[in-house]
Amino acid sequence: MQVPAADTIDSLAIGLSDYLEKGQVNSVRRAYFYAEQAHEGQFRRSGDPYVTHPLAVAGILGEMHMDHQSLMAAMLHDVIEDTGITKTAIKSQFGNSVADLVDGVSKLNKINFSSRAEAQAENFQKMAMAMAKDLRVILVKIADRLHNMRTLDVLASEKRRRIARETLDIYAPIANRLGMNNVRVEFEELGFEALYPMRARRIAAAVKSIRGNRKEILSKIQTSIEVCLERENLPGRTNGREKHLYAIYEKMRSKRKSFSEIMDVYAFRIVVDRVDTCYRVLGAVHSLYKPVPGRFKDYIAIPKANGYQSLHTTLFGMHGVPIEIQIRTEEMEAMANKGIAAHWLYKSTDDLPSNAHIRAREWVNGLLDMQKHAGNSLEFIENVKIDLFPDEIYVFTPKGTIFELPAGSTAVDFAYAIHTDVGNSCVACRISRRLAPLSEPLQSGQTVEIITAPGTQPNPAWLSFVITGKARSNIRHYLKNQKQSESVALGRRLLTKALAGFGSQIENIPSENLNEVLQQTKLKSLDNLLEEIGLGNRMSYMIAQRLAAHSDVSADAAQEASDRLGSIDIRGSEGMVMNYAKCCHPIPGDPIIGHISSGRGMVIHTDDCNNITDIRDNPEKCVSVRWDPDVEGEFSVELRVELENQRGIIATLATTITGTEANIEKISTIERDARVSIVNLSLNVRNRVHLARVMKRVRLIKPVNSVTRVKSRKVRKTIRNVAGSH
């Protein structure tokens, strides 16, 4: 697996001349001699001259057949950081492209992923930015990390473990996302060996001990496949695939399988000349051994996100031995092993970017989009980690466009994958032509239709089931902005009412008063101040008192005047900063009072709710409110129904309630005795008139003895906990 590094610039140049022009090879040589001079007198931990490291990094990129500018950047990648030579000096010697690459890699070299989570996240953001400018930056960095992993032995054990953990967590998944399978496997093997040396040794010994027994079976299966292909006149080469140690370890750990269960599977790869032959070979092996149902995957028609293409099938071999087979073309084999790097291998100067290159670019642009919408760097890294470890599913739009999503994705994830606006206005979905819940996990092959409606907005409950980073970051971003604008609107209403008591208005506040208050509260603008009031973090009448500082009206008189000027109307459409208490369930028609709850905005209680008895006259905590005549929406209410036990009574009760256009949220039954039961219902109704109609219909059910509305449950006694009781 390990690629031998070039010992000297001459041996590297000979290898490069196979695919680069003479002038390009000479440019790489010139970069080497420049680096050799710059690093003069510097040595690696192993005692070797420092220049052996950039030479080895260039050798790795040469094995990938990378372009000459990447190889020059590899030679010079530590020059800016370690020798004091500037980017300008490199630009004048080697041109803009090479200087930008070297600068990008130098910035990545300063990234230290081992620091605490937030720093790690911010560093990953820098990496995304560097990749967006030029994908070759990350390829040079991957080659740099690969050589460092190969020479890890000289480091102290703690540093070795830190670098190994970082490689397994960050670099191996990135290599996988860019389709670089050979590099990923080597990262995992070297990282596993450094992080868990004893586990690696034990698994290696176990693999070695059973290798002899497997050899004979592998040979028999391989011969039978080759004979079958020859008989069908299908040209191709067949070889057995050995599972690498880290893959065995991860499978044992994640799938809770024993070593023998994993090693019972025999794996082969058949590489052929063209796509048409792949499908013919598939037919031939299916006629040779019986295929296992549900284990066939066509990654040729629908490639993986990283550009990987192949046919996968599992067969029942001799004596029921499972055989995993991959069938692909030579070009697919190169793409599977080199991934994004193969883009430069197959690319001539006139060519358009390859599929792998386009996919990698889309992924990086997706990262930047997530970064824009993430609330903070930790949220960003959480979304990226989801994105780096996908097991893919493939679903279709009604017009037949394929979308690839991580396993477990829902229709909401699909909606955001189409477009952010589609996700934000999504109200329902059809999965394979049937109406389905938005939270239902999608399966490969399904056709998903998203139903949208203008004026709708994301539901906070979606965050409990969405899988993709894009959906999660967009929902959070929208809700955060929505809550902010709602807080400002509510804060404006509260401050307007409070200022009215001082005979003033927001528009008439002297600018020096406003600036003084903003300075005292350490806020930047009036909107920030209104947001704080709307969220309940600042008291409106106290802010009003400071803003109207030169008014002759006393605070008590202002409060009285404010009360006389009327209550705040509750429209039901205020959004997330208006909450309805779960202890008393107020609905339109009930006399109500507003409690200002820190961080949550206003919580509406019924006027007689036990939980606010002690604070209802405190102007700092409560404000006068009333229902707007045109209040809209549905409000939660609780009913207690006492009824005689009868077969099907709960179904009758539910049908009766839904017949009145009320929605049942929750239903629970307590059996008082063998004859009588208590049913507790949580319903959504429009107002008291609607509730009265529901209760009247329920009372008409014969076995029902009584129906009562449950009001004002005592949740907490202490005033200080009122906010937490809603």
Amino acid at 539: M
**Ramachandran angles phi, psi of 282, nearest 5°:** -60, -45
Nearest one of 443, 440, 433, 434 to 393, comparing CA atoms: 443
Give CA–CA dist 175/157, Å, rounded. Answer: 25
> Cβ-count burial of 341 within 10 angstroms (0-12 exposed, 13-18 middle, 19+ buried)?
buried
Q: What's the alpha-carbon Rg for the chain, to the nearest Å?
A: 34
**Ramachandran angles phi, psi of 487, nearest 5°:** -65, -40
Give CA–CA dist 223/361, Å, rounded. Answer: 42
What is the number of helices (H) and of strands (E) in the chain? 29, 20
Secondary structure (DSSP) of 145-160: HHHHHHTGGGS-HHHH
Q: Which two tokens stand for residue 567?
A: 């209550």
Give CA–CA dist 594/602, Å, rounded. Answer: 6
Q: Which two tokens stand for residue 512?
A: 């020096």
Q: Which two tokens stand for residue 604?
A: 């509406």
- Which residues have C-beta within 8 Å of that of residue 395, sequence separation ≥ 6? 402, 403, 405, 414, 442, 443, 444, 445, 446, 447, 448
How far is CA 322 from each of CA 221, 278, 281, 485, rounded to the nearest angstrom? 11, 21, 18, 59
Nearest one of 288, 290, 286 to 227, comparing CA atoms: 288
Burial code (b: 16+ CB inside 10 Å, e: under 16) for 274-290 equals eeebbebbbebbeebbe
82 flagged as catalytic: yes
What is the DSSP secondary structure assignment for residue 250, as one 8-state letter? H
What is the DSSP secondary structure assignment for residue 170, as one 8-state letter? I
Type and span of the H or E element at 219: helix 197-231
Q: Which residue has the tokens 């399904």?
A: 446
Name the CA dihedral angle for 85, 87, 91, 92, rounded to a multiple of 10 degrees: -40
- Which residues have C-beta within 8 Å of that of residue 166, sequence separation ≥ 6? 113, 114
Secondary structure (DSSP) of 608-661: T-GGGTTTTT-TTTEEEEEE-TT--S-EEEEEEEEEE--TTHHHHHHHHHHTTT
Q: Check residue 689 and give its pLDDT.
A: 92
Sorted by where each starts, the structural domains of the chain and their CATH numbers stand as: 9-154 (1.10.3210.10), 207-345 (3.30.460.10), 481-578+599-623 (no CATH), 579-598+624-726 (3.30.70.260)
Give CA–CA dist 307/355, Å, rounded. Answer: 7
Which residues in the chain show pLDDT less than 50?
Answer: 1-5, 114-115, 345-352, 552, 561, 564, 715-726
For residue 260, give the 3-state DSSP assignment: helix
Q: Which two tokens stand for residue 286?
A: 């299916």
- For the stretch 580-614, pLDDT in tens is 888 889 999 999 998 887 767 788 899 888 888 88
Contact between 584 and 569 under an 8 Å Cβ cutoff? The reply is: no
Give CA–CA dist 223/317, Å, rounded. Answer: 13
607 flagged as catalytic: no
What is the DSSP secondary structure assignment for residue 442, as one 8-state letter? P
Q: Can you give the pTM of this predicted structure?
A: 0.55
- Which residues have C-beta within 8 Å of that of residue 115, sequence separation ≥ 6? 123
Contact between 31 and 94 under an 8 Å Cβ cutoff? The reply is: yes
Q: Check residue 369 and give its pLDDT.
A: 63
Contact between 700 and 641 under an 8 Å Cβ cutoff? The reply is: no
Q: Check residue 327 and give its pLDDT.
A: 93
Q: Which residue has the tokens 């880290």?
A: 246
- For the stretch 616-670, pLDDT in tens is 777 667 888 889 888 888 888 999 999 988 888 888 998 899 888 888 888 888 8
Contact between 468 and 405 under an 8 Å Cβ cutoff? The reply is: yes
Give CA–CA dist 119/14, Å, rounded. Answer: 43
Q: Which two tokens stand for residue 150?
A: 């190969």
> Cβ-count burial of 406 within 10 angstroms (0-12 exposed, 13-18 middle, 19+ buried)?
middle
Give CA–CA dist 497/652, Å, rounded. Answer: 49
Q: Check residue 720 and give its pLDDT.
A: 37
Q: What is the C-alpha end-to-end distance of the chain, expressed in Å? A: 61
Contact between 415 and 403 under an 8 Å Cβ cutoff? The reply is: no
Query: Cα 613–616–617 angle (5° rounding)?
Result: 125
Q: Which long-range contacts (CB under 8 A, 24 or more apart) does 557-564 make?
A: 557/501, 558/498, 558/501, 558/502, 559/501, 559/619, 560/501, 561/500, 561/501, 561/502, 561/503, 562/497, 562/498, 562/500, 562/501, 563/501, 563/624
Active-site hit among 81, 122, 242, 331: 81
> Cβ-count burial of 30 within 10 angstroms (0-12 exposed, 13-18 middle, 19+ buried)?
middle
Q: Which two tokens stand for residue 383?
A: 């979304």
Give CA–CA dist 63/706, Å, rounded. Answer: 82
Q: Check residue 131 and give its pLDDT.
A: 61
Give CA–CA dist 173/171, Å, rounded. Answer: 6
Q: Which two tokens stand for residue 438?
A: 């938005």
Active-site hit among 36, 63, 82, 563: 82
